[in-house]
Amino acid sequence: MTTEESTSVQTISNESINIKHITLEKGPKRQYNRKSKTEDKAKELKDKLLEEQELARIKREQDEFDAQKKEADEQELTKYIIENIAQKKLKEQEKQEQQIEMDQLLEKLIPIAVQMKEETVSKTIMER
């Protein structure tokens, strides 16, 4: 903050006198510590704005999470419905295949049964 310097000055009588002088340096000014009402209001507004932004961010994240969860639930439900429909179609197809097999078997057995009945009717009681 201060610097000391010494210089030699010659007087009229040719005598040398050392003179020391001090230079004061200006330092930083003292800060103004008193808070004003406007600063308090500004800080309150800033804090309120930050809080609102944080709440908006949280709400946005929650909405995104809810949307993702809803989409996942819908996909799961769609998958379940598709699987259920596929199982019903498979059962129906198996039922139709069994019906076709039964019809084919009956087509083969009916002529045999008719022939056996005719043979039985044509035989006399003693031959039966």
Boundaries of every domain in the chain: 37-115
Compute φ and ψ for 123, nearest 5 degrees.
Answer: -80, 150
pLDDT computed for residue 37 by the predictor: 74
d(CA 99, CA 54): 67
- Considering 15-24, 81-90, 111-120, the range whose residues carry the highest mean pLDDT is 81-90
pTM over 0.75: no
Q: Indicate the burial class of 110 (C-beta count within 10 angstroms; 0-12, 13-18, 19 or more).
A: exposed
What does DSSP say about strands 2-10 and 16-24: parallel, antiparallel, or unpaired? antiparallel
pLDDT computed for residue 51 by the predictor: 97
